Amino acid sequence: EKSGYEHFMLKEIHEQPNAIKDTLRGRIINDGEIVLDKVKITKDEIDKIEKIFIVACGTAYHAGVVGKYAIEKFARIPVEVDIASEFRYREPIINERTLTIVVSQSGETADTIAALKEAKKHNSRVIAITNVVGSSISREADDVIYTWAGPEIAVASTKAYTTQLVALYLIALDLALKKGTIEKEYAKQICDELKKLPERAERILNYKDELQEFASNHFNTKDVFYLGRGLDYAVAMEGSLKLKEISYIHSEAYAAGELKHGTLALIENGTLVIALATQEHLFEKMLSNIREVTTRGGYVLAFAMEGNKQLEGIVEKVIYLPKTMEEVAPIITVIPLQLLAYYMAVEKGCDVDKPRNLAKSVTVE
C-alpha cells in the first residue's frame, strides 16, 4: 500500500512524475494539438464565450488560480476564480455566454456540486476536472477532463493538484487554439515544456534531503510567510495551505507587492519567509520585495530558476528549480513546497496523512 514510504503523502508526492505523464498521455498530438475526448465544446461555442468561472474549494481552488493566468494569457477570455462556498451564495452573473470550469479531486465536494448546479441553472456550460471516474461532478457536467493521478489517500492533496494544473493548461491551450488567440509555434513550445515536466519533477524529488535538513532546523517556527508574484503567488497560496494543514504552523501567502501595504509590519528578526522567484519577467520586482524582508532581518528561503544566481548572498538559502518556461513553472515549483510541508510536519511529530479536524472528502456543508 505505502510501497515502502513512511506516509501516503510522501508516496503520493513521489508519484507525481507518473501522474503528470498519465494526465498528458494522448492529449497532445502532432507536437502541438490538443485532444480532449470528453470535452465536446465546439469552436463556435467557444467563440461565443464572454467569461469563464473556475469554481472549486481548497487546493483545487488554488489550481484554479493558476488556471486563470493560463486561460487569460493564452485564450484571452476573462476568468474569475471563485471559492465554491462563496460562488453558490452570491448570485454570480451567469448566462449562456459563460463557461464554468469546476475542479474537484473527489468529484463529491458538496459546495462544488452546488456551484455546478447553480451554473447549469443559469445555462452555463460546465467542464469538470476531476480525479474520480463516475463521481457526481463527472456525471453532472457537460464535459469532463479526468486527471489520471490515481487514488489519493493522504488528506493533503499533492498529485491531484499537479495533475489539475496539467488539465487546466490543456484546456487553456485547447480554447486558445480553437479561438486562434495563440501562435501555433508558441503553443508547440508550451506543449514541449509540458512533456518535459515528468522528468523535471523527478529531478526535484532529489531535493528531499536538503528540505528535510531545512525542516529539522526550522520546525519550531511559529509563522511562515510565502511570497510570490504572478504564477508564483498562486503557488505560494498552495504551499502555505500545505504547511498549515499538516504541520499546524501558522502561515500566510501574499502577493509580494502587497507586503508594504500592511504585512511588512509582521516581519522581524528571524521571521521565516519563503520567496518564490521563478517568474523571469517579474524577477526584479520580486528582488526588491525580498530586500524589503531581508532589511528587516527576515530569514529567506528562496526558490529560483537554475541559472539565475542573483539571489546568492542576498538570502539565507536558494533552491534552484530545473529550468522551465515560466508559464508552466507552478507544476514543478509546488513540489519542493509539498516536501517542505511534509518534513516540517514529520519533524513536529504530526499525523501527516490524517491531520486533525480534516476529512478527505467534504461532502457536508
Residues near ligand F6R (CB under 6 A) are 57-60, 104-106, 109, 112, 156-157, 241, 245, 361-362
127, three cell numbers: 467542464
176, three cell numbers: 486558445
Q: Minimum Å distance from CB 110 to ligand F6R?
A: 9
- Pick between residue 12 and residue 326 the one whose CB is nearest to ligand F6R: 12
Measured CA to CA, the distance from residue 298 to residue 316 in angstroms comes to 9
Query: If DSSP states are collapsed to H, E and C, what string results for 249-301?
Result: CEEEEEEHHHHHHCHHHHCCCCCEEEEEECCHHHHHHHHHHHHHHHHCCCEEE
Pairing assessment for the beta strands 28-29 and 51-56 based on DSSP bridges: unpaired
Measured CA to CA, the distance from residue 116 to residue 156 in angstroms comes to 24
Q: Minimum Å distance from CB 106 to ligand F6R?
A: 3
Whether 360 is a known active-site residue: answer yes
Q: Minimum Å distance from CB 111 to ligand F6R?
A: 8
98: left (phi over 0), alpha (psi -120 to 50) or beta: beta
172, three cell numbers: 487553456
Catalytic residue among 179, 188, 244, 360: 360
Q: Minimum Å distance from CB 189 to ligand F6R?
A: 30
- Pick between residue 105 and residue 162 the one whose CB is nearest to ligand F6R: 105
Q: Minimum Å distance from CB 107 to ligand F6R?
A: 7
Q: Minimum Å distance from CB 121 to ligand F6R?
A: 20
Asked if 278 and 302 touch (Cβ cutoff 8 Å), the reply is: no
- Pick between residue 241 and residue 304 the one whose CB is nearest to ligand F6R: 241
Quote the crossing angle between the two packed helices 159-179 and 16-24, to the nearest 10°: 30
Nearest to 109 by CA among 157, 49, 68, 39: 157
Residue 286 one-letter amino acid: M
Give CA angle at 194 (191, 200), nearest 5°: 145
- Please give the positions annotated as active site: 360
